[in-house]
Amino acid sequence: MSQELHHVLLSCGYKYTPAYRIPKEALIYKKEPQSGYYVKHYKTRIGEFSVALVLCGDIHTELPVAYILDLPDVLRGRLIPHVSNEKLLCYVEQKEADWDPNNLDSLYKDVDSQIQLTLDNAMDSMESGDPYDDELEGEFSQYWNSEEKLFLLKEANRTVRLTTWLCEKTLPNGESDIEYVTIKDEKGKNELLAKWSTHREFNDNFLKERPISTHYISVNPNRLAGVIWPPKRLSDILNWLSNVDHNARNKVIERILTSGKKRHILLFDVYNQDMLAVYVEINPNTIAKNRHKLKSVKKSSIRTQMSLLCGKYTCTKFIRLSVTKADRNTLLSRNASRSGVGNLSDKRVALIGCGTIGGYLASLLLRSGAGCGDKYFHLFDSDTFAPQNFARHALTANEFGHSKAKALAKSLLSSVHIAENIKGLDMNFPITQSMLSKYDIVIDATGRPPVSKRLASTVRMISNGRRPIIIHAFNDGNGRASKVLVDNGSQCYGCMVMNPETHRAETDLRFGHINHMDERHTSCGSTFTPYDAAVSHITAALAQEAVLNTLEPDMIWTYNEHMLDGSRSKKPRMLKRQPNCAICHAV
């Protein structure tokens, strides 16, 4: 232990306490006499908290864990902002925080101040009961103390009918791995579920079982902090909802009693919080025996119905479930240029060329939504994947001798359950008006000028309403530059290479000194230029950015580049149509 830190903590009011003197029921209790913690009593308006600092790892770069040894009696068993069920106090987002690791005095005095501030804010939240309090934003579900996990593969709302399946497998160590998987109820259509089970390595035996009735419950609570938490039985759930949202409580009672089913998933969508779920099993005999009570009046009171569901023998099983959203929008949400822009799932996309650039770009496009909806994502390449391609390609040795396009499509389809409309075609892309009209976005990753020029010419024969955007992505200067050009109709590939300010004889002026023939090699009957894959990674990333920019109301650039030879890269810009471009002026 650092003597400097010891004196700093003592000056803050902490007292060093051996671990064996900590209450035995505490999570941090130890018998070892050499272990110990620094303990301090913090006063708040509701009462006093006893907090132990657990020093772990590097005291300069890792903040101590704050463990609550004691708290006011009035708060026991209740939901307290920033305090987990294990009594850990979250006083800072350590991974997001910044501090001076070389000044322990300032650092640990700040820790002390932050703990006091966090407790004060938590007590303010407890007293106010504001359901929109920032102190509990995103934390409510963290204190749910889930026992099993549920994956939600479809966005849940009032209009979508859901169903849940129980997936189970035995791990190599003999333990059982269980997942509840919720999908849209489509009357026997289980393709999405089958893909999920394949990716998660579950066998499909569970499909022989009956699905679990699933009920979406919207909860708009009048308070969050201070409630008894987490619930341990169905009666606790109903009592909680009675206190915070009686409409949600009524919905739960109605769904369970009218379904007549034994097994239920209750999916709670708590306003401004993450989702929660419970699995309950209802004893049908208990409900049947008391059916006369429910029919004794025209409409039995909620109190009577709730009393029945809270009965000792009604709910035979109760499991709290964590909810992990794995629907399409959630999976793609972090790969958008900005919130609300959307993704490529509603765009028809063609990728021409599945070599080094295309191989990396295909994966990026998938993660932006291409082929993950009703619209298709087609990959074109007539070449096969050979061992000499391995060093610069995304494919693996398993695909040697296979079609690049088909192997890449297979890899994409097997990577995530939402990939559903992807096809690899072992052929060159037919550059015709009818073929181009089938797509919204066509990406040219061939690196072949004749193909680029032909695409630019043919697309201009198509009327504006049916014309796709063409994106050319290529490496230039024998691997010295990554370049991307967006042809949105304002200019074309020909305009770029015919610009006298940047090109001569269709060659970038910066690469005029290069002897291309000396740098090229012939191997296995094909010509290649030896350079590492970094340039292709960058080109693919620039191409992805260009594709995502097409989702914006306005294009912010039509040309972008990155130089890898140490020279200065030009800023992204809007290229101008050239008066001497034979392609643009031939139309």
Bridge partner list, 169: 177
Check whether residue 182 and residue 79 sit in a common domain.
no
CA 430 centroid distance within chain = 36
What is the tens place of the pLDDT at every residue in 183-208? 999 876 778 888 998 889 887 777 66
Whether pLDDT at 1 is above 60: no
What is the tens place of the pLDDT at every residue in 464-476? 889 999 999 999 9
Smallest Cα–Cα separation from 363: which of 543, 487, 201, 485? 543
Active-site residue among 90, 315, 372, 584?
90
What is the rounded CA–CA span in Å between residue 347 and residue 344?
A: 5
Check whether residue 123 and residue 148 sit in a common domain.
no
pLDDT at 162: 95
Q: What is the CATH number of the domain that holds 439?
A: 3.40.50.720
Domain limits for position 163: 142-326
Q: Transcribe 461-492 into DSSP letters.
A: TS-GGGPPEEEEEEEETTTTEEEEEEESSS--
Check whether residue 526 and residue 471 sit in a common domain.
yes
Check whether residue 561 and residue 501 sit in a common domain.
yes
Active-site residue among 56, 315, 524, 581?
524
Smallest Cα–Cα separation from 473: which of 490, 457, 493, 489? 493
Tokens found for residue 81: 């902002």
What is the rounded CA–CA span in Å between residue 136 and residue 127?
A: 13
Whether 574 is covered by a domain: the verdict is yes
pLDDT at 542: 98
Whether 45 is covered by a domain: the verdict is yes
Q: How far are the Cα atoms of 11, 240, 512 from residue 563, in angstroms, in the given order?
A: 55, 61, 15
Check whether residue 178 and residue 70 sit in a common domain.
no
Check whether residue 104 and residue 173 sit in a common domain.
no
Check whether residue 543 and residue 516 sit in a common domain.
yes
The answer to whether 344 and 351 are in contact (CB under 8 A) is no
Check whether residue 112 and residue 167 sit in a common domain.
no
What is the tens place of the pLDDT at every residue in 144-163? 889 999 999 999 999 999 99
Would you call 524 a catalytic residue per the annotation?
Answer: yes
The owner of tokens 């009703």 is: 374
Q: What is the CATH number of the domain that holds 104?
A: 3.10.110
Whether 453 is covered by a domain: the verdict is yes
Length of the chain in residues, anyone? Answer: 587
pLDDT at 522: 54
Whether 531 is covered by a domain: the verdict is yes
Bridge partner list, 444: 352, 472
Whether 304 is covered by a domain: the verdict is yes
Check whether residue 553 and residue 414 sit in a common domain.
yes
Q: Transcribe 561-580 into DSSP letters.
A: EEE-SSSPPPPPB-PPPPTT
What is the tens place of the pLDDT at every residue in 100-139? 999 999 999 999 999 999 999 999 888 877 766 676 776 7
| pTM (predicted TM-score) | 0.82
Domain boundary among 326, 358, 391: 326
| End-to-end CA gap in the chain | 79
Cβ burial of 274 (10 Å; 0-12, 13-18, 19+) is middle
Check whether residue 261 and residue 322 sit in a common domain.
yes
Bridge partner list, 503: 508
Check whether residue 123 and residue 238 sit in a common domain.
no
Check whether residue 180 and residue 321 sit in a common domain.
yes
The answer to whether 232 and 133 are in contact (CB under 8 A) is no
Whether pLDDT at 338 is above 80: no
pLDDT at 175: 85
What is the tens place of the pLDDT at every residue in 261-319? 999 999 999 988 889 999 999 998 888 766 655 555 445 688 888 988 998 889 999 99
Smallest Cα–Cα separation from 113: which of 187, 201, 45, 51? 51
Smallest Cα–Cα separation from 320: which of 370, 379, 374, 279? 279
What is the rounded CA–CA span in Å between residue 413 and residue 372?
A: 9
Would you call 581 a catalytic residue per the annotation?
Answer: no
Number of domains into which the chain is organized? 3
The answer to whether 364 and 541 are in contact (CB under 8 A) is yes
The answer to whether 353 and 408 are in contact (CB under 8 A) is no
